[in-house]
Chain A
């Protein structure tokens, strides 16, 4: 039986009928066409599906859509302010923190979420914050550098 749920995604309210076994990843990608959220494993190992739910980063593949009922969700599509990129996004571009790009949305979500909680993190804190986001391409160094650079440019 489908259930009607309410989600606020990127500041926009949606009413969606979902089957109880559908994950938040599936609903975001398939019902709302927010394909920036990626699925790399489906079981919470890789972090490619990370979104911010009620202020905290979560692996959306481990959240059932009905569990998210009433929640506020921010996906990679909701990070920029119109055409103006978020400082973490801008820093990823300038510091070469992107290769294949498949982990990038989740990485940016984790990086932004860290800076929201802790505007001036240490390198170890950055590494811990993205340790649930796997990247096979970059060796992480430029991602860490980008988040560090964003923390320096962001006003808080």
Chain B
């Protein structure tokens, strides 16, 4: 075991002080001199033609400075994947969901902007509305996008091995259906931004985003301004979970209005607008058929899925792949077939959300595997242990499991939850269930086809040698990347965490694809580590020259220079440092040569000490169509046990305890890893038990508030027994890989399986409301 001084500890977050004192500034907290306030006009119809827009009355309102519609903004198409650019900044000829954006206003204050919005007159011709996937693909259904006459936005057909042959060799085959509900990100901070266009033609956008890089590219493309003139900066960001992983109308409108007025423009979503903009979890309709041998060997999996995508593609083309590609991977499965269809409906667009594309599929299959294990008379943990893959194996769809601690996860949860004495032995109404999870540690390819680096970083030393400035465009959204990357820099360079000053989330720092697909610890971590190693090398080279000893005989640890072959006389260097620093504070100890002294001496020698790092994963995956989606330099995995109480009279489910083991490769910060696990489980618990964005018959969201769209409170979420498994990922910096998204995977099926253990009923539709459980219990009684 290597000895580390910074990483693998429980050090507090680097942004903790700012956040506990209330001094951390988020986008809505920013203001600029002479700033205008923007507001959006959004469609009241789910599907309608726009016949005419009259802004004349609004323009006359005192305090209104600008109004823009498709006429002013143009109709350049954008979106997430270039293969499916189907949005324009403002609707041109028609609107496709309630909330679709039609115009934006800039005024001297927010109240005036809102009043102006109410004065814009739009003539609509309402069109038939289609809100359900299966209605949308019927012959003669209303067409939402002319380019997609059957409303199928993307479809995937993949087969690996030979599924029919696999079923032939199976002793037992079963088919189950499963459906979740549209989930909202429900991050606490509504999107907000301030755009500032200056007289030199530079545009700076301060925005609550997960992906400064993609926002920069989209702003540049849609507003026709060179990328180098667009700077996107993240202030502190109050959570994202997926929906903030692409450019939005708020950002583009604020930029356009600022460019036209020459004044800073601030725009903020209300909570209702957060729901309308959506881009959260899709609704998935899965039908799964699995074949197994009597001894429990999984032989074949057939997966058909329809995704309710809403009005635009957003991330959907990736989502529809992920709903198939990730499913079989944790198990030794040779035959897998997938047919996926993402369908347009007149609802807010769905996109990526924590566990992108794979959460409903995992819930469906892990519940089915539980049923199968029971049918075969095999303990569900033994059943998984028999089938799970191991390190070094390659899945049937060409994912390389370069590290894979699934077996360790399973054994850990079994031991730590007293599974053997509880499974099948708890009193009526109490249940225990388990499931596994699997996820990428960063998407193997960028969203647009490119040879781009996925992450870059730069480190510069201050002239006194005392401060290490880390410049990374990586996106801190609350998950802790600022802390993780600072820790990686400190460890790799050999200084203390408090010596590192991080500058992040700014496109002026370079390229980083951002916070999505659970990628930053591995990818941004690599770039930062490289930059730190480069700086370390530069400092040591100067020292080597001055002291006339080889670089290899020196190291830097904990802010001190280590001479591996015994003490070295550094008195000349030390006295020259003191001379340089006469009158400066904090003189170094006499006993050691410090990094600070060495770095100052290196500065005097070289003037600039800057180290760079850049990472891209290289070629991954197979050659089939869609082979890129699901590839990753590494994969995280997890296993979980949940205990529940079900009120057999009312059907109400309470989650009593959770035991979760996650293989994160290597924990850079153990407290952060636990925090990611606990937070993921909480979001999974919410989706399992409460969360559903509901629509009325006209396509209007019925519950666009955090009161009526219920997420878990402190009273719903039990304590989690968190177990960190470290498999030492060869492709990760210091062996680290993901935890942020993958940890959500086993929660929903573990709850479902625990409910079955408690009640004997299976629930195939989320959320697991008391009503659904009650009805299932009644149905079961009738069958007796």
A residues neighboring B (CB under 8 Å): 29, 34-46, 48, 75-77, 79-80, 85, 89-90, 92-96, 98-105, 108, 126-128, 130-144
Q: Mark B1-45, 1 if CB is under 8 A from A, else 0.
A: 000000000101101111111111110110000000000000000
| B271 and A40 contacting across the interface, CB-CB below 8 Å | yes
The 8 listed contacts between A and B (C-beta, < 8 Å) are: A40-B706, A42-B271, A46-B706, A77-B23, A80-B21, A136-B186, A136-B188, A137-B479
With contacts A99-B239, A99-B480, A128-B715 taken as known, whether A139 is within 8 angstroms of B188 at the C-beta atoms is: no
| B13 and A85 contacting across the interface, CB-CB below 8 Å | no
With contacts A41-B271, A89-B21, A134-B188 taken as known, whether A94 is within 8 angstroms of B12 at the C-beta atoms is: yes
For residue A99, which residue of chain B has the nearest CB?
A: B478
Given contacts A137-B239, A139-B712, A141-B719, could you give 17 more A-B pairs where the C-beta distance is less than 8 Å?
A29-B29, A34-B22, A36-B22, A40-B188, A40-B190, A43-B707, A76-B20, A89-B21, A90-B20, A95-B671, A96-B671, A99-B239, A99-B479, A99-B679, A136-B187, A139-B680, A142-B675
B residues neighboring A (CB under 8 Å): 10, 12-13, 15-26, 28-29, 185-190, 236-239, 241, 270-271, 477-480, 671-672, 674-675, 678-683, 705-707, 711-715, 717, 719-720
Least distance between B359 CB and chain A CB atoms (Å): 16
CA distance A144 to B674 in the complex (A): 14
CA distance A138 to B19 in the complex (A): 14
**Which one of A94, A101, A103, A108 has the greatest number of beta carbons of chain B within 10 Å?**
A101
| A39 and B28 contacting across the interface, CB-CB below 8 Å | yes
**B contacts with A: majority SS:** loop
| A138 and B678 contacting across the interface, CB-CB below 8 Å | yes
CA distance A99 to B240 in the complex (A): 11
| A139 and B682 contacting across the interface, CB-CB below 8 Å | yes
The 6 residue pairs across chains A and B that have the minimum distance between CB atoms: A36-B22, A100-B478, A102-B238, A101-B19, A76-B22, A139-B678
With contacts A39-B28, A41-B706, A131-B713 taken as known, whether A137 is within 8 angstroms of B22 at the C-beta atoms is: no
Tell me which of A45, A101, A128 contacts B236 (CB under 8 A): A101
For residue B23, which residue of chain A has the nearest CB?
A: A36
Tell me which of B25, B187, B238, B679 contacts A139 (CB under 8 A): B679
Least distance between B746 CB and chain A CB atoms (Å): 14
**Which one of B15, B679, B681, B720 has the greatest number of beta carbons of chain A within 10 Å?**
B679
Least distance between B637 CB and chain A CB atoms (Å): 20
Q: Could you say which residues of chain B place their CB within 8 Å of the CB of A94?
A: 12
With contacts A39-B28, A43-B707, A136-B186 taken as known, whether A98 is within 8 angstroms of B19 at the C-beta atoms is: yes
Least distance between A108 CB and chain B CB atoms (Å): 6
With contacts A99-B480, A131-B713, A136-B711 taken as known, whether A45 is within 8 angstroms of B22 at the C-beta atoms is: no
CA distance A39 to B110 in the complex (A): 15
| A100 and B189 contacting across the interface, CB-CB below 8 Å | yes
Q: Could you say which residues of chain B place their CB within 8 Å of the CB of A131?
A: 713-715
| B188 and A103 contacting across the interface, CB-CB below 8 Å | yes
CA distance A142 to B22 in the complex (A): 19
CA distance A41 to B16 in the complex (A): 24
CA distance A40 to B683 in the complex (A): 18
Q: Could you say which residues of chain B place their CB within 8 Å of the CB of A36?
A: 21-23
CA distance A134 to B12 in the complex (A): 22
| A136 and B241 contacting across the interface, CB-CB below 8 Å | yes
Q: Could you say which residues of chain A place their CB within 8 Å of the CB of B271?
A: 40-43, 45
| A77 and B675 contacting across the interface, CB-CB below 8 Å | no
With contacts A41-B271, A104-B19, A144-B714 taken as known, whether A134 is within 8 angstroms of B706 at the C-beta atoms is: yes
CA distance A36 to B236 in the complex (A): 12
Tell me which of A34, A127, A138 contacts B682 (CB under 8 A): A138
For residue B241, which residue of chain A has the nearest CB?
A: A136
**Which one of A43, A44, A141 has the greatest number of beta carbons of chain B within 10 Å?**
A141
Q: Could you say which residues of chain B place their CB within 8 Å of the CB of A102?
A: 26, 187-189, 238-239, 478
| B671 and A100 contacting across the interface, CB-CB below 8 Å | no
| B188 and A76 contacting across the interface, CB-CB below 8 Å | no
| B20 and A104 contacting across the interface, CB-CB below 8 Å | yes
CA distance A99 to B24 in the complex (A): 12
| A108 and B20 contacting across the interface, CB-CB below 8 Å | yes
For residue B705, which residue of chain A has the nearest CB?
A: A45
Least distance between B405 CB and chain A CB atoms (Å): 22
Least distance between A148 CB and chain B CB atoms (Å): 11
| A105 and B22 contacting across the interface, CB-CB below 8 Å | yes
Q: Could you say which residues of chain A place their CB within 8 Å of the CB of B23?
A: 36, 77
CA distance A137 to B707 in the complex (A): 18
CA distance A48 to B681 in the complex (A): 22
CA distance A128 to B477 in the complex (A): 27
Least distance between A45 CB and chain B CB atoms (Å): 4
For residue B240, which residue of chain A has the nearest CB?
A: A100
| B707 and A45 contacting across the interface, CB-CB below 8 Å | yes
Least distance between A155 CB and chain B CB atoms (Å): 20
Least distance between A130 CB and chain B CB atoms (Å): 5
